[in-house]
Amino acid sequence: MHPIVNRFLKYVKIDTQSDPNNSNFPSTEKQWNLAHLLVSELKEIGMHEVTIDENCYIMATLTSNIDYTVPTIGFVAHIDTSPDFSGTNVNPQIIENYNGKDILLNNKKNIILSPDYFEDLLLYKGQTLITTDGTTLLGADDKAGVAEIVSAMEHLIKNQEIKHGKIRICFTPDEEIGNGAHLFDVEKFGVEWAYTMDGSKIGELEYENFNAAGAKVTIQGISVHPGSAKGKMINSILIGNEFSSLLPANEVPEKTSGYEGFYHLHTFSGDIETTTLEYIIRDHDFNLFENRKKTFLEAVALINKKHNSEIIKVEIKDQYFNMKEKIEPVMHIVDIAKEAMEQANIKPLIKAIRGGTDGSLLSYKGLPCPNIFAGGHNFHGKYEYVPVESLIKATEVIVNIAQIVARK
């Protein structure tokens, strides 16, 4: 088995789920477990200036092996996994020479990974897949990216004939809860541009992402005994349903694709007295994004007017913005990644991210940062998998980028 497989399996077996309900940074202590392992490993393979700060950001340097000046570049990945699905006791399975048929992930629970539902599986017929056992996520988002960066650095250190300039790497915590770049020290990182290794399907190359906001709707009802409730009870649960129905029914994640934006209700909880709805609001176009927030507020105002009181209150917070605005003036950095993929016989799939990455916030902090595939599929759930060949190819792309920059 290729060495990157052992490295990846070691990483995914360490539970690093982040926690959106914890304001500490990082949000979970267990992220330190992988962080400290990575610090030791980076030192062992020969990286320089290996540091870890009080916020769990790991940085390291691969020194230049050329005698002329080229741009210092960086590679970034995150160590945490999604809080949406269990990352405890990850038990990866290896499927060699995948035959294009259903994969039984868990016999006891009859959990099947099927190409009839996940058609991208057929792209990897004949390859080796790493899957879950059907009870947890896998963690390829983004431990695949971490493994690829470490493996690429090790390859460059062991093969000094490959020419490269100075390269910086950084592994971040809490990306999955939107905080991965919040305390990122761009000045300390000290690069002209970077790439996040945090995409999905092999070939993905992304420099556009959603504009994003989070919205919390709180509805205050009045609880009265149902026997005497007429004209007095206000059932906040029903008001929550009414509010949800005022938003465009087809503008939800499960009915949109490409550049289409959406409203996503991801939490609905409450009782007669108090109900809370939590949404994410997304759109690639900034004006449409602003209109979505306006539509949201209009729905709130409509219900409040109907009840002649502020029965609904809402808090909307912007989360991140489309990095396209920051990348387009330096499109040569996307061209370099595209060339690196073509050198690896990979067809670049330049597309917009229907989400966000650390690269979005980093780009707005002055560090242009497109996103490159890490190879995994079906992130944040039990059907997650990654082809070994994609891990290897992503590592090759990193090495190719280093070489291309060195000869510019």
Contact by Cβ (8 Å): 152, 393 = no
Q: 3.40.190.10, 3.30.70.120, 3.40.630.10, 3.40.50.300: which CATH number matches 3-209+322-406?
A: 3.40.630.10
pLDDT at 8: 98
Contact by Cβ (8 Å): 96, 130 = no
- Class of the CATH domain delimited by 211-320: alpha beta
408 pLDDT more than 90: no
What are 119-139's pLDDT values in tens digits? 999 999 999 999 999 999 999
For range 148-163, the mean pLDDT: 97
The percent of residues above 90 in pLDDT, for the chain, comes to 93
Contact by Cβ (8 Å): 5, 391 = yes
- Where do the CATH 3.30.70.360 domains begin and end in the chain? 211-320
Which of 77, 33, 27, 76 shows the shortest CA–CA distance to 55? 27
The percent of residues above 70 in pLDDT, for the chain, comes to 100
Strands 262-270 and 274-283: antiparallel
Distance CA 17, CA 89 (A): 12
For range 3-22, the mean pLDDT: 96
User: Would you name the residues annotated as active-site residues?
Assistant: 80, 175
For range 386-402, the mean pLDDT: 98
Using pLDDT thresholds of 50, 70 and 90, give the confidence band for residue 353: confident
Angle ∠(151,149,181) on CA atoms, nearest 5: 160
102 pLDDT more than 80: yes
* Residue carrying the six token digits 């392992």: 37
For range 175-194, the mean pLDDT: 94
178 pLDDT more than 90: no
What are 197-229's pLDDT values in tens digits? 999 999 999 999 999 999 999 999 999 999 998
355 pLDDT more than 90: no
- Where do the CATH 3.40.630.10 domains begin and end in the chain? 3-209+322-406
Distance CA 408, CA 403 (A): 9
Cross-strand partners of 385: 131, 377
Task: Report the predicted TM-score, pTM, of the whole model to 2 decimal places.
Answer: 0.89
97 pLDDT more than 90: yes
Write the burial class of residue 344 (CB in 10 Å: 0-12 exposed, 13-18 middle, 19+ buried): middle
Using pLDDT thresholds of 50, 70 and 90, give the confidence band for residue 356: confident
User: Taking all residues of the chain, what is their mean pLDDT, rounded to a whole number?
Assistant: 96
What are 237-258's pLDDT values in tens digits? 999 999 999 999 999 999 999 9
What are 278-311's pLDDT values in tens digits? 999 999 999 999 999 999 999 999 999 998 999 9
For range 360-389, the mean pLDDT: 96
| Cβ-proximal residues to 12 (8 Å cutoff; 6+ apart), any chain | 90, 92, 138, 139, 140, 143
